[in-house]
Amino acid sequence: MKKNKDFVVVANWKMNKTPAETRGYMREFENTVAAENFKILEKKRVVFCVPFTSISVAVDSMKNFFFGRHKVYIGAQNCHFENIGAFTGEVSADMLKDSGVDYVIIGHSERRIFFGETDDVIRKKVRACLGSGLRVILCVGENSLEREEGMTRNVIKRQVSSAVLCFDKMDADKILVAYEPVWAVGARSSASLSEIDEVSAFIRSVILDTRGPEFSNKISLIYGGSVSNENINEIVKLKSIDGCLLGRASLNCSDFVSILSKI
């Protein structure tokens, strides 16, 4: 981790928790961090990416409780690339922004796999989010076949290039790139420390080569895929990453707080 940056911790709840459950979780989270005098939030940026239906509850509790004094934000897990129109069932970036959302996960492997999102669609979504003033957590990563075939670097380069490096003008500190090897998401174990290090360094080098050091330094790189209470101590030491993204390990409030206390 670079010492001048806050460590980013993204909690991706996926399709879990009703608004009532969200309210209960947030209350527990607030009480626990307040009891510890907010110490566990120091030098961290925490982003809860909740289901659409939980956004207003989550935004209200965070705003009322933290009053903007601590870096706790609410994110969404998807949005449409058009801002208005006949797209039944979809939610736009402007709608999210106006609901108090600051971050949106784009290109998660579950969206790519189960909902057929292509690089093209993902690029349009990134553009829509940035245009609405949202920050983007762009997920990239190879699947197990691509890994076995030695295609990891090609896949990552293609995904990063088509969703980030294609834009001439963009605010680099509004983008976080999450390296999430598909085979490690929802799996038994994470990628090894050397794999995380190697691919993250590769992502940084691709960005650096194309856009130069100033742009590249502003982009935060995070790792996701089976991050847990057991491996967080080691993952946090990696110099190549600025944060991590947690799925299952963020669903139970006391487990999540325990992980935060180790960072």
Contact region for ligand PGA (CB under 6 A) — 39-47, 111-119, 203-211, 247-255?
247-255
Under rule CB under 6 A, residue 186 binds ligand PGA: yes
Under rule CB under 6 A, residue 225 binds ligand PGA: yes
- The distance of closest approach from Cβ of residue 226 to ligand PGA in the complex, given in angstroms and rounded to an integer, is 4
Name the 3-class secondary structure at 146. Answer: helix
Under rule CB under 6 A, residue 131 binds ligand PGA: no
Under rule CB under 6 A, residue 23 binds ligand PGA: no
What does the angle CA 189 – CA 190 – CA 193 come to, to the nearest 5 degrees? 130
If DSSP states are collapsed to H, E and C, what string results for 169-210? CCCHHHEEEEECCHHHCCCCCCCCHHHHHHHHHHHHHHHHHH
Identify the residue among 1, 7, 12, 26 touching ligand PGA (CB under 6 A).
12
Contact region for ligand PGA (CB under 6 A) — 95-103, 128-136, 165-173, 223-231?
223-231
Catalytic residue of the set 30, 80, 108, 146: 108
Q: CA-CA distance, 165 to 157, in Å (whole number)?
A: 10
- The distance of closest approach from Cβ of residue 67 to ligand PGA in the complex, given in angstroms and rounded to an integer, is 29
> 94-132 as b/e, with b when 16 or more CB fall inside 10 Å?
bbbbeeebbbbbbbbbbbbeeeebebebbbbbbbbbbeb
Q: Which residue number, 30 or 110, has a Cβ lying nearer to ligand PGA?
A: 110
The tokens of 63 are what? 């705003």
Under rule CB under 6 A, residue 243 binds ligand PGA: no
Identify the residue among 102, 142, 180, 242 touching ligand PGA (CB under 6 A).
180
Long-range Cβ contacts of 144-147 (<8 Å, 24+ apart): 144/182, 144/183, 147/181, 147/183
Under rule CB under 6 A, residue 245 binds ligand PGA: yes
Instruction: Name the residue with tokens 């085979």.
Output: 183
Q: CA-CA distance, 52 to 204, in Å (whole number)?
A: 31
Identify the residue among 5, 70, 71, 248 touching ligand PGA (CB under 6 A).
248
Give me the phi and psi of 88, to 5 degrees please. Answer: -50, 130
Q: Which residues, 6+ apart, have CB-to-CB distance to 98 below 8 Å?
A: none
Residue 142 annotated as catalytic: no
Under rule CB under 6 A, residue 185 binds ligand PGA: yes
Identify the residue among 51, 181, 243, 247 touching ligand PGA (CB under 6 A).
247
Under rule CB under 6 A, residue 227 binds ligand PGA: yes
Under rule CB under 6 A, residue 246 binds ligand PGA: yes
**Beta strands 175-179 and 220-224, pairing class:** parallel
Under rule CB under 6 A, residue 142 binds ligand PGA: no
Binding site for ligand PGA (CB under 6 A): 12, 180, 185-186, 224-227, 245-249
Residues with a known catalytic role? 108, 180
